[in-house]
Amino acid sequence: MFTLGYCIVRLKRIILCIVRLYQHFAPDYIRNRCRFEPSCSEYMILAVSQYGAFKGTRKGIQRLKRCNPQGGGYDWP
């Protein structure tokens, strides 16, 4: 059967696939509004790759909450 480790790796791949689909199909006027470098979607990919599915997704969502007209600059996971 499936082990917990296998399920977590699959979840990580699914999250990364969803973010890449967003990057490919989202309209430019939405994707180009990010105030940070790297962009929020690229940050999510980096965070999930570095920290795993759960902690990386949490860090990515926190970053999305900070992405507003008053924020911005360089921010790495």
**Other CB atoms within 10 Å distance of the CB of residue 19:** 19
- 10 domain residue, yes or no: no
What is the per-residue pLDDT across 18-60, written as a single tens digit (0 to 9) for each? 999 999 999 988 888 888 889 999 999 999 999 999 999 999 9
- 49 domain residue, yes or no: yes
Structural domain span for residue 19: 15-69
Inform me whether the pLDDT recorded for 71 exceeds 80.
no
CA distances from 66 to 1, 10, 19, 40, 48 (A): 40, 28, 18, 10, 18
pTM over 0.75: yes
- 19 domain residue, yes or no: yes
- 6 domain residue, yes or no: no
- State the pLDDT at residue 19: 97
- 53 domain residue, yes or no: yes
Query: What whole-number distance in Å separates Cα of residue 63 and Cα of residue 47?
Result: 10
- 8 domain residue, yes or no: no
Our count of domains for the chain comes to: 1
- State the pLDDT at residue 25: 95
- 39 domain residue, yes or no: yes
- 58 domain residue, yes or no: yes
